[in-house]
Amino acid sequence: MDNIWCPGGLNGNARKVAEALRARGPSTRAQLARAIHLSRPTISATIADLAAAGIAVESAPGPDGPDSRAGRDDGTNRTGLDETGGRDGQRSSGRPAGVVRLTRQAGLAIGVDVGRRHIRIAVADVGHEILLESATRLDADADDTPGPVLDKAASMIDGALDRLGAARGEVVGVGMGVPAPMTLDGRIGAPRLLPGWGDLSPGHELGSRLGLPVLVNNDANLGALGELHWGAGRRASVLVYIKLATGIGAGIVLDGQLFRGSTGTAGELGHITMDARGPVCRCGNRGCVELSAGGRALVAQARLTYPELADVSDLVEMANSGDPGCRRLLTDAGTQIGLALSGLVNLINPERIILGGELGNAADLMLDPLRRGLAESAMPAAVETVTVLPGELGDRAAALGGVLLVMRTPSVSR
Q: Which of 119, 120, 206 is nearest to 171 (CA)?
A: 206
**CA 325, chain centre distance (Å):** 31
Angle (CA) 381 83 110, round 5°: 105
For 240, how many CA atoms within 13 A lie in the half-sphere containing its CB?
A: 26
Instruction: Name the pTM for this structure.
Output: 0.89
Give 395's contacts (C-beta < 8 A, 6+ positions apart). 118, 120, 135, 358
Return d(Cα 299, Cα 301) in angstroms, integer. Answer: 5
CB 220 within 8 A of CB 249: yes
pLDDT at position 7 = 57
CATH 3.30.420.40 at 1-82+99-231+394-414, yes or no: yes
The mean pLDDT value for 46-70 works out to 77
pLDDT at position 232 = 97
Model confidence at 11, pLDDT cuts 50, 70, 90, reads confident
Q: Which of 208-217, 294-303, 405-414 shows the lowest mean pLDDT across its residues? A: 405-414
CATH 3.30.420.40 residue ranges of the chain are 1-82+99-231+394-414, 232-391
pLDDT at position 38 = 93
CATH architecture of 232-391: 2-Layer Sandwich (3.30)
In this model, does residue 313 exceed pLDDT 70?
Answer: yes
pLDDT at position 59 = 85
Say if residue 278 is exposed, middle or buried (CB neighbours under 10 Å; 0-12, 13-18, 19+): middle
CB 40 within 8 A of CB 98: no
Across all residues in the chain, what is the average pLDDT?
Answer: 89
CB 233 within 8 A of CB 227: yes
Helices (H), 249-362: 290-293, 295-302, 312-320, 324-348
CB 268 within 8 A of CB 221: no
pLDDT at position 140 = 85
Q: Which of 403, 361, 390 is nearest to 68 (CA)?
A: 403
What is the share, in percent, of the chain residues with pLDDT greater than 70?
88
In this model, does residue 332 exceed pLDDT 50?
Answer: yes
The mean pLDDT value for 321-347 works out to 96
Return d(Cα 323, Cα 192) in angstroms, integer. Answer: 34
pLDDT at position 136 = 96
